Amino acid sequence: MISHRRWESLDKADIGWLRAGYHFQVSPEGNPAHGALGSLIVWNDDEIAVGGGFPQHGHRDVEIITYVRQGVLGHRDNLGSEGTIQAGDIQVMSAGAGIRHAEFNKGDVPLRIYQIWLLPQERGGKPQWGTRTFPKSDRSGRFAVLASGFADDKEALPIRANARLLGATLKAGESVRQPIDPSRSVYLVVASGRIEVEGALMGALDGAVITNVDAVDVSALEDSELVMVEAG
């Protein structure tokens, strides 16, 4: 079963330095049809202007994955961690018992990121931060696991959630069949390009909930970048 969340149907915000589209409902006034999906509770499409960013603020008991689509993300937190994340790479922050951090545009072009929040398997614990480079060539023509809460995904950044994040790049005309655990739900977003999923068209920035299937067939109608979360 596939339920589409087209870009036009998403709740939006524009506060000058930040323009955002929300794949999941973030306030009681938001789209009630866009509820959480298992442990996946937030997927924000953020565009941060040059010189803009989120000042230091706190989180706890949430796993936050940031997927950088364009530009350079700067990170700084009260653990002493500091870093820059380039387009195509990701960072993972396990908030645990509590962490405070700031994120900002460290480049000279608008910063475009996905902010993905997952509920942890257990509350509390020591907060952690990490980042890793994932060359897009490694996910050409296939879905590669980028972050995971499963021990078998040894090359992925670890998270403390019953979920995994995958990414793929497909050239126009390429197709991929991705196995899915039928007990899990999938949220798929087209970061760029245009694809066909089980016969249905999806354009750039569209999302889709995929449930009760053991595999999904994706065909690229043009060069495309895809991001997917499989959540329990």
Q: 72-124: per-residue pLDDT in tens?
A: 999 999 999 999 999 989 999 999 999 999 999 999 999 999 999 999 999 99
Mean pLDDT across the chain: 96
Instruction: Indicate left, alpha or beta for 203 from its phi (over 0: left) and psi (-120 to 50: alpha).
Output: beta
**Does domain 2-231 bear CATH number 2.60.120.10?**
yes
Amino acid, res. 13: A
Quote the percentage of the chain above a pLDDT of 90.
Answer: 93
Distances (CA, A) of 60 to 80, 94, 122, 129, 198: 17, 8, 12, 13, 38
How far apart (Å, rounded) are the C-alpha atoms in residues 187 and 143?
A: 13
2's CB contacts (< 8 A; 6+ apart) are 197, 198, 200, 208, 209, 210
Contact 66, 90 (CB under 8 A): yes
**pTM of this structure:** 0.95
57 assigned ligand-binding residue? yes
23 assigned ligand-binding residue? no
What pLDDT, on the 0 to 100 scale, is given for residue 137? 84
- For 115, the token pair is 């902010």
29 assigned ligand-binding residue? no
**pLDDT tens, position by position, 137-153:** 889 999 999 999 999 99
Domain regions of the chain by residue span? 2-231
